Structure 1
Amino acid sequence: MKILIRADGGYNIGMGHVMRMLVLADRLKDFSEVVFVCRKNGEFETGVNLIEAYGYPVFTVNGEAIIDQLAGIGGDCLITDSYDADESYFKCTRDIFSITGYMDDLNKVRINADFIINQNIYAQDLGYEKYEGTLLLLGTQYALLRDEFRGLPARKTRRDVESVLVTLGGSDPQNLTEKIALKLGRAFPGITFHVTVGPSFINGDSLEAVE
């Protein structure tokens, strides 16, 4: 089986779509051929680079006539993780691919797909109006966790806090990381803060200057 995964990552939209699809791809590759389909321009280049670093082939497309481009690539299954998908997209892709799936967060449009995954804790409360035959996979039991987060011991709460990890994801276009680091450092001078940023973060120089 050939599975296409349609997802983008970059400076403005962050890397969340790509990261969770990489988790899914790592499971699917054991029994399927997995390829990614991504936009690639200045904004989305970091997403493409990350996927390629994980060893997956990437077909790049532009924003125009994307349905035709997906059909041209071909495959048995299409899994989409993108807020750009609308009802027309779902209708057309379901006519092209034998199996279609969508990774959702918001339930903003009616999704015509064979399965919908929403791993958020509030997913059951969104009131999905599904098409006949659509499988709903809703809730945290469907969370896509990387291997390093599986099987961790129960969390222990320390009475005295000595160090804190601060991370706002893969891009942080508003540079909130720096603002938060400044405020935390001033408010809690006795605590060490470890700040982690992602591949699309572009304010590294100014962040490193924070004391």
Structure 2
Amino acid sequence: MQVFIRTDASIQIGTGHVMRCLTLAKQLKSRNVVVTFICRNLEGNLINFITEQGFDVLCLSEIPKTKESPEISHWDWTRDNWFDDAEETILLLKKVNLPIELLVVDHYSIDINWEQKLQSIVKKIMVIDDIADRKHDCDLLLDQNFYCSMENRYSNLVPEKCYQFLGPSYALLREEFLNINPSKIIRDGTINNILIFFGGTDSAGATLKILYAIKELIKVNIIINVVIGFENPFKEQIESFCNKYENVILHCNIDYMANLMSQADLAIGAGGTASWERIYLRLPSVVVTTASNQLELTRDLAHTGAIKSLGVIQSILKSDIQSQLKLLIDNPQAILKMVESCNYIINYSTVKKNRVSSRILEIINDTR
């Protein structure tokens, strides 16, 4: 079975789309599915990383730069040039010269127009989305996020026949997470270990801002693990900061995130894909919104009590970060309430049973 995944990563876009697609790709590969990625060659792409994970990548050309717009938005270019993107993708797929059972699309700038153009050369299209701001012509749709109105979120945006996988019960979690039973992790409300992680790129500089803010709160009895990616533009400053403290440990581009989250008592991070990893492991979180697509999700999660939201990174003050952190360190009962709320959102056995890869293959085989 041939499955292709159209997604992108860059300094502007971040790494979240590719990382969750890699999780799906590995699940499918374990069931003897051949998975190939289609990515545009953007600054900060993860094309080499994808190939290192064992998958072929078909590369789309670089975005042309002009004197008028040397720093064009990667999101805007794909949205404005969707026809060219679709045409280039079709050319690559035709060269494969094999029946394509499924094309997975995980891209905020691709919508119904692009998808309809690809329908003639693929058997089925699956969309991974979480902002529900445009129409799709797809056979399957995955939105793994928690929203107050999950059931009706895509009622007017996808065809009636579309299979919809909605909510954290369908979260795309890597095997390192699924191999852990969260109920075995002891969380007693005390904070002796804090994890800071703002994604693979963190172009907003949230990691550094948090570190400077909590500098006065760093105590020798609290271990602070800081995780960044190779593409973090503030890598050298972060490394310099961490080297000043014995109990502040820097990790770069790691493959043991589940282990760090299991050991942590509190996480500080963004409201993206890592939300489900933290909540699955019942890890209380202080969340900073670093992109507009995280606003609704972070707001709805904050209503459940599973996280504490500080707001948008650009408007957060040093005092906001310090007061929230001190409040949680001094209040173990507040931490325990957050742990209970995490249990309400994601159930360990349900996530293991509802593996998206299994449901995809069931649908494809039933409709052949």
Per the TM superposition, whether the score is higher than 0.5 is: yes
**For residues 134 and 200 of structure 1, what CA distance do their matches in structure 2 show?**
37
Residue 151 (structure 2) aligns with: 124
Residue 58 (structure 1) aligns with: 57
* Superposition map of 1:19-168 within 5 A: 19-29=19-29, 30-44=31-45, 47-62=46-61, 65-74=84-93, 75-122=100-147, 123-124=150-151, 126-129=153-156, 130-153=158-181, 154=183, 155-168=185-198
Letter in 2 for 1:26: K
Is 1:199 aligned to residue 227 of structure 2? Answer: no
Q: Is the deviation greater in 1-10 or in 58-67? A: 58-67
Per the TM alignment, residue 107 of structure 1 is displaced from its structure 2 partner at its CA by 0.7
Residue 13 (structure 1) aligns with: 13
**For residues 173 and 147 of structure 1, what CA distance do their matches in structure 2 show?**
28
Dislocated runs of 4+, deviation >6 Å: none
| CA spacing shift, 1:125–1:177, aligned 2, 3 Å | farther
**Equivalent residue pairs, number:** 209
Letter in 1 for 2:21: M
CA contact (8 A) 1:164 1:193 kept: yes
Q: Which ranges of structure 2 fall in alignment gaps of 5 or more residues?
A: 62-77, 94-99, 245-368
Report % sequence identity. Answer: 27
Calculate the TM-score normalised by the size of structure 1. Answer: 0.91
Secondary structure of residue in 2 paired with 1:18: helix
**For residues 176 and 90 of structure 2, what CA distance do their matches in structure 1 show?**
35
CA contact (8 A) 1:106 1:126 kept: no
CA contact (8 A) 2:196 2:224 kept: yes
Instruction: Give the number of the structure whose alpha-carbon radius of gyration is greater.
Output: 2
| CA spacing shift, 1:159–1:83, aligned 2, 3 Å | closer
**For residues 117 and 144 of structure 1, what CA distance do their matches in structure 2 show?**
10
Residue 205 (structure 2) aligns with: 175
| CA spacing shift, 1:102–1:179, aligned 2, 3 Å | same
| CA spacing shift, 1:161–1:132, aligned 2, 3 Å | closer
Secondary structure of residue in 2 paired with 1:199: coil
Per the TM alignment, residue 199 of structure 1 is displaced from its structure 2 partner at its CA by 3.1
CA contact (8 A) 1:38 1:61 kept: yes
